[in-house]
A = this chain, B = another copy of it.
């Protein structure tokens, strides 16, 4: 049975950083969300920040979905393997953004159906070759859930050994996975399929109706009161459960985690059900245009840094937030306080 302990973050370290930020040469609170981010990074680090967080990794979890048989995606399943070739060939969106962010991209195959060519940054974490069709039956067995979580921990350990990341971004690739993610988000938050199901990669109105009906059917099968293992087995994708495992591994290692969009939010809800402290290590990089992502983030208690109308996945939105991590760290470590700089503070009398 899969189990993991994640330590709480360090509130005292966050308080100390808050104190320092309050004395930096700028009006109190004037760097808004960047200050909040620095405090969260301090709580995670439990001491000095490894500014400017030079070692950065991106892990894209990949898997295929039997539910594509229901016509819930605008793209055929083959595209999952084709896009992985694009990631490893370094000409996809995530590669362009990773170069900007100076981050290394790893792909973890948790359950791709098609054949993949070996590559140094393709990590084999395969649990199966595409899930069962969640419209009709459980996507995977409960022991597959444990296997995918354990595979996620191994993926984190491998990335840790190779790249020693000081911050990690998590993303997804899997044709059909917005259906699985929507079902998981409904199950973990109690929201309705109408509120959560969205267009994915570009579904039309008929497609959306089909997708809502599929999610409703699957949720009825799960029923009320199911535990996280049963929910994940019925509704999951191999990559979504795997990403939850990577997240738990990173959190257990006290590494800050940039969450990408809708799919990763579903993985984070699963991770929270397993180890609630894990969410303290998470930073919501952006709000996706996909319906229901905002509700999933609210359920996680996370407020997104960016809102750029993205709906791609691949960790593309998460990668865009690395510079904000660097900015927050540099703010804390490179700015002087009023006293250090000899600048007058707001408390001195105003000239009149």
12 contacts between A and B (CB under 8 A): A25-B83, A27-B202, A28-B202, A31-B312, A34-B310, A69-B351, A71-B350, A71-B352, A202-B346, A305-B308, A307-B307, A320-B323
A343: nearest residue on chain B (CB-CB)? Answer: B82
Chain B residues, CB < 8 A from A25: 83, 86, 91-93
Chain B residues, CB < 8 A from A73: 350
B309/A343 in contact, CB under 8 A: no
Chain B residues, CB < 8 A from A157: none
A96: nearest residue on chain B (CB-CB)? Answer: B330
B76/A351 in contact, CB under 8 A: yes
A27/B312 in contact, CB under 8 A: yes
Residue A95 CB within 8 A of the other chain: yes
Interface residues of A in 272-313 (CB under 8 A from B): 289, 305-312
Chain B residues, CB < 8 A from A344: 75-76, 78-79, 82
- Beyond A31-B312, A89-B341, A100-B327, list 11 extra A-B contacts (CB 8 Å): A31-B310, A32-B309, A32-B310, A33-B309, A71-B352, A74-B346, A79-B343, A91-B340, A97-B327, A319-B327, A322-B323
Q: Convert A31-71 into 0s and 1s, putting 1 for each residue whose CB lies closer than 8 angstroms to a CB of B.
A: 11110000000000000000010000000000000001101
On A, residues with C-beta under 8 Å from B are 24-34, 52, 68-69, 71, 73-79, 82-83, 85-86, 89, 91-93, 95-97, 99-101, 201-202, 289, 305-312, 316, 319-320, 322-324, 326-327, 330-331, 333-336, 340-346, 348-352
B52/A346 in contact, CB under 8 A: no
A174 to chain B, nearest CB (A): 14
Chain B residues, CB < 8 A from A32: 289, 308-311
B33/A330 in contact, CB under 8 A: no
Given the complex of chains A and B, what is the CA–CA distance between A182 and B214 in angstroms?
54
A31/B316 in contact, CB under 8 A: yes
The answer to whether A26 and B96 touch (CB under 8 A), given A91-B336, A289-B32, A343-B86, is no
Chain B residues, CB < 8 A from A93: 24-26, 31, 331, 335
